[in-house]
Amino acid sequence: MGLIMKKQRHIFRLIILVIIFIIIPVLLYSLGDFSRRNFLKETLSLITILGFTLLLSQFFLTRINKKLVKDIRMVNVLKIHKIIGYIFISILLLHPFFIIVPKFFDNTVTPADAFLKLITTFSSLGVILGLIAYTSMVILVITSFFRFKLHLTYRTWRSLHGYFTMLFIITASWHLINMGRHSNNPFSIYYVLMVTSGIFYLLKTYLFKTSKNEKSSR
């Protein structure tokens, strides 16, 4: 009976995460009063939105989520964290190309011109934030994949991972709210709530662990 209840709690917590980071964004997208474009552009937009919201879920798929860790063990939480991270960071790394690819199918701007404009336009705050977010994401990928080759200790890597994650999430969210064509008020409120709560729990965990370590070392 205890094992069944534990499994039910495990499923229930995962369902909550699915509702918050997949179903709610899809509903906000579906019910939003946006001008709809062709199927390719809308599909790429939805993939990008879900890629970002599932990366936001990473805040809650770490040791921060103590109840989930207790239910399914830390090793399984980390497996889910890594799978989601690798898949959806890969999707977001392709985000600039998602903007360029549709240019192959219309007669407005050539893909080459669109790409050059994308990487050389610094007059817009949204573009600058996007470039900062993209650079932070690349650093996260490099330090995660090549941690041992870079001779980073776990403590150093974990600190870098946390700080660059916060930089990425803040600038990417700001970029989305500033420039995203699907960033209406409900979406903006959703992003702010998820980012704020995620960063709060991340800082709480880091600061609590630091103060705890300092006390134990005295």
Q: Annotate 17-72 with DSSP letters as a single string.
A: HHIIIIIHHHHHHHHS------HHHHHHHHHHHHHHHHHHGGGGSSTT-HHHHHHH
215 in any annotated domain: no
The count of domains in the chain is: 1
38-88 tens-digit pLDDT = 888 888 889 889 988 988 888 777 666 666 666 666 677 777 777 888 888
DSSP type of residue 158:
H
170 in any annotated domain: yes
pLDDT above 70: residue 13 = yes
150 in any annotated domain: yes
46 in any annotated domain: yes
Report the largest interatomic distance among the alpha carbons of the chain, rounded to a whole angstrom: 68
pTM for the full predicted model: 0.75
DSSP type of residue 156:
H
197 vs 37: which has the higher pLDDT: 197
216 in any annotated domain: no
Asked whether the beta carbons of 182 and 45 are under 8 A apart, the reply is yes
Rounded to an integer, what distance in angstroms lies between the CA atom of residue 149 and that of residue 152? 8
66 in any annotated domain: yes
Asked whether the beta carbons of 48 and 98 are under 8 A apart, the reply is yes
Domain ranges, residue 11: 2-202
Q: In sequence order, what are the residues at sequence separation of 6 or more whose Cβ sits closer than 8 angstroms to the Cβ of residue 137?
A: 89, 92, 93, 168, 172
Q: In sequence order, what are the residues at sequence separation of 6 or more whose Cβ sits closer than 8 angstroms to the Cβ of residue 204?
A: 64
217 in any annotated domain: no
pLDDT above 70: residue 32 = yes
207 in any annotated domain: no
